[in-house]
Amino acid sequence: MFSDTILLAHGSGGRMTHDLIGEVFHRHLGNSLLAAQDDAAVWVLSSPGPERIALTTDSYVVSPIFFPGGDIGRLAVCGTVNDLAMVGATPLYLTAGFILEEGLPRADLERVVASMAAAGRQAGVKIVAGDTKVVERGGADLMFITTAGVGEVPKGVCISGANVQPGDVAILSGPVGVHGLAVMSRREGLEFSFPLQSDCAPLNGLVSEMLKAGGPIHCLRDPTRGGLATTLNEIAGQSRVEIEIDEVCIPVSEEVRAACEMLGLDPLYVANEGKLVAFVAPDAERPVLEAMRRQRYGQQAAVIGRVTCAHPGRVVMKTLFGAHRILDMLTGEQLPRIC
């Protein structure tokens, strides 16, 4: 029975669930592991065996589910792939659990799943296990997606937020603030025409080239919720170092600056979904930067600061006019203001 909206019955586990899974999930995500339709996906480890395995999980509840440059599905795949890439792992397989709200248009679900398939192909990963539940109207904001991701960490790769050392150079892969604003521009009560698309993208290709460039990369992180400033604070805390950045060096596009001026937001605290910050040993600065700039998602990579041991856990920014100010973590949610 074909219905153009998702009904509670689609989550019951019976005929309608099976049909939905076949007609939507298998059709778009099709791969041999998923097609086996067992309760779990089973695969043989690569040979010679991986030294280490990386495992991550994430939940996606973004609203609206479609925004300029992406949707919740693309976000889910890229976000999970990026978590794996940030520890230097080669991403392999993802799972995707869906909680659907009764009344969700089926066409919207199809659109999201097709987008996940495309993102998976772009990143070179397969979605091999999934689950679908349907909750009553009001029980979910159209759609929530939970993922897990598995990858293999090559020998010799030692990347962690705790490994940053005084003397390290901080490199940002590109302009910040795009994703958060793209989503906000569609939020009721705030609508504005934001000309930029979300930067949502899989970064494993970029990371792979960076690792090949040679020279120790100590830490990689993607500045998602809370923005660049929050991420830098997390790392400074984990590694017990001080990070000094230069406001003049941080790439921010004109459109992002304009939107932030208008809404009273700070681009350093706006979420990104296709950017990373890398902390590398001084000798690695040149080769890594050059490798990044040759890649699609690192073309505007720039050195934004350095690591010292002055005040462990602190992030300091040299402003446009040479004054220094402390950059804190984001508290709560950044809200548009008029004052």
Partner 1 sequence: MKYVDEYRSPESIGRLLALIGRRSRNPVRLMEFCGGHTHAIFRFGLRQLLPPTVSLLAGPGCPVCVTSQPDLDRAIALSRVRGITLTTFGDMLRVPGSTGTLQEARAEGADVRVVYSTLDALSIARDNADREIVFLAVGFETTAPSVAAAVLTAEDEGLKNFSILSLHKLTPPAMRAILDAGEVALSGILGPGHVTTIVGSDAWDFLSREYGMPCAVAGFEPLDILMGVYALVDGIESGSSEVVNAYRRNVRREGNLQARQAIDRVFCVRATEWRGLGTLPASGLFLRDAFCGFDAASRFPVRVEPAEEPKGCLCGDVLRGRAQPPDCPLFGRTCSPQHPIGPCMVSGEGACAAHIRYREG
Partner 2 sequence: MCLAVPTKVVRIVEDEAEAEIGGLFRRISVAFTPEARVGDYVLIHAGFAISVLDENSARESLGLLEEMEAGLGAQKETGS
Among 103, 258, 286, 287, binds partner 1 (CB under 8 A): 258
Least Cβ distance, residue 103 to partner 2 (angstroms): 30
Q: Assess 12 for contact with partner 1 (CB under 8 A).
A: no
Element (DSSP H or E) covering residue 324? strand 324-326
Q: Assess 38 for contact with partner 1 (CB under 8 A).
A: no
> What's the CA gap between 183 and 187, in Å, rounded?
7
195 binds, among partner 2, partner 1, none (CB under 5 to 8 A by kind): partner 2
> What's the CA gap between 151 and 174, in Å, rounded?
25
Q: Are 152 and 141 in contact (CB under 8 A)?
A: no
Among 131, 261, 283, 290, binds partner 1 (CB under 8 A): 261
Q: How many chain residues bind partner 1 (CB under 8 A)? A: 30
Report the alpha-carbon angle 245-247-252, nearest 5. 115
Q: Which two tokens stand for residue 308?
A: 């010292």
Q: Assess 323 for contact with partner 2 (CB under 8 A).
A: no
Interacting stretch for partner 1, rule CB under 8 A, among 34-42, 70-78, 133-141, 310-318? Answer: 310-318
Q: Are 227 and 177 in contact (CB under 8 A)?
A: yes
Q: Assess 36 for contact with partner 1 (CB under 8 A).
A: no
Among 30, 64, 195, 214, binds partner 2 (CB under 8 A): 195
40 binds, among partner 2, partner 1, none (CB under 5 to 8 A by kind): none
> What's the CA gap between 326 and 156, in Å, rounded?
35
Among 255, 308, 313, 318, binds partner 2 (CB under 8 A): 255
Rounded alpha-carbon distances, angstroms, from residue 277 to 221, 232, 308: 5, 9, 17
64 binds, among partner 2, partner 1, none (CB under 5 to 8 A by kind): none
Q: Assess 44 for contact with partner 1 (CB under 8 A).
A: no
Site string for partner 1, 316-335 (x = CB under 8 A): xx-xxxxxxxx-x--xx--x
Interacting stretch for partner 1, rule CB under 8 A, among 100-108, 203-211, 216-224, 311-319? Answer: 311-319
Q: Assess 321 for contact with partner 2 (CB under 8 A).
A: no
Q: Assess 257 for contact with partner 2 (CB under 8 A).
A: yes
Q: Are 300 and 174 in contact (CB under 8 A)?
A: yes
Coil/strand/helix, residue 320? coil
Is the backbone peptide bond immediately before 175 cis, with ω within 30 degrees of 0?
A: no
Q: From the CA atom positions of the chain, what is the Rg in Å?
A: 21
Least Cβ distance, residue 269 to partner 2 (angstroms): 16
Least Cβ distance, residue 321 to partner 1 (angstroms): 5
> What's the CA gap between 145 and 77, in Å, rounded?
10
Q: Assess 314 for contact with partner 1 (CB under 8 A).
A: yes
Least Cβ distance, residue 304 to partner 2 (angstroms): 21
Token pair 């990026």: residue: 82
194 binds, among partner 1, partner 2, none (CB under 5 to 8 A by kind): partner 2
> What's the CA gap between 157 and 155, in Å, rounded?
6
Among 25, 93, 194, 297, binds partner 2 (CB under 8 A): 194
* CA neighbor of 316 nearest in space, from 233, 217, 200: 233
* CA neighbor of 218 nearest in space, from 156, 280, 153, 286: 280
Q: Assess 187 for contact with partner 2 (CB under 8 A).
A: no
Q: Are 54 and 92 in contact (CB under 8 A)?
A: no
- Residue 30 neighbours by CB under 8 Å, 6+ apart: none
Interacting stretch for partner 2, rule CB under 8 A, among 26-34, 88-96, 103-111, 259-267? Answer: 259-267
Among 192, 209, 237, 282, binds partner 2 (CB under 8 A): 192
> What's the CA gap between 285 and 197, in Å, rounded?
29
Contact positions toward partner 2, by CB under 8 A? 192-195, 254-255, 257-259, 261-262, 264, 337-339
